[in-house]
Structure 1
Amino acid sequence: MLSWLSKLFRRHREALPQGRTASAVRVSHDDRIITVDSGAGSVATLLWSNLANVAILTTEAGPLQMDLFWILSDRDRRSALTIPMDAEGEHALLKAMQARLAGFDNMAVVEAMSSTARGIFQIWPAQML
């Protein structure tokens, strides 16, 4: 599904600038839950059934620091996962979101990845809040 988007993500990941290390963050998911391990001892989770909003936060920190982050939040926005785009398992999560979330906006993902300024790109709302 949308192999051009997969290639874009792969190219972004392969092009780590000299001096930048890969993220210690690991993200995993199954049919029920999304789990983010910070690599520093904390673990956060979000049930797929509670997922209500997907956005991408962009910063001007690149290229020496990660400047693209997934923000996944629940219905009442009390719980959110922040996942750097270079996190281990992030590509598999992207594929899962594309398959599971009707109306997932791939063009907004491309726009976010092209941004060099601070911003928030709405990727998928389960409902307009």
Structure 2
Amino acid sequence: MIFTLSSASVKYINVTESHLGEASTPNVKEVFEQAVSELAEETKLDLKTADHISQASVEAKIEDINWKFGFSKTDMITQLNFNINGKNYASEGHFKNLGGSAGNNLKRSFKNAIYKFLLEYQK
């Protein structure tokens, strides 16, 4: 399965609640590509990314990215829409931890959303 990221995807992280310091904004496209690559390695599935939709079988569009800070935990929430053969699949990824970097949390949330999409697609 070959993924491409829609050019209409959200490219910034919405940060909610109070937190310490300034988080750098990672390159969302690069983080998405890393998530696909790592998920392929971990699951032994043939997952790749491409630069153009003509090379891909799945177009992914990031609808929203939220990084919520709580008292002792953070939650990175990503909402993605996957289009394959004209059919849309909505998927929400989560990654909770005690802090961490924006890029690492985003990558783990993307992996969660992609994995949920794959589970739904195989049904």
Q: Structure 2 length as normaliser, TM-score?
A: 0.29
Q: Structure 1 length as normaliser, TM-score?
A: 0.28
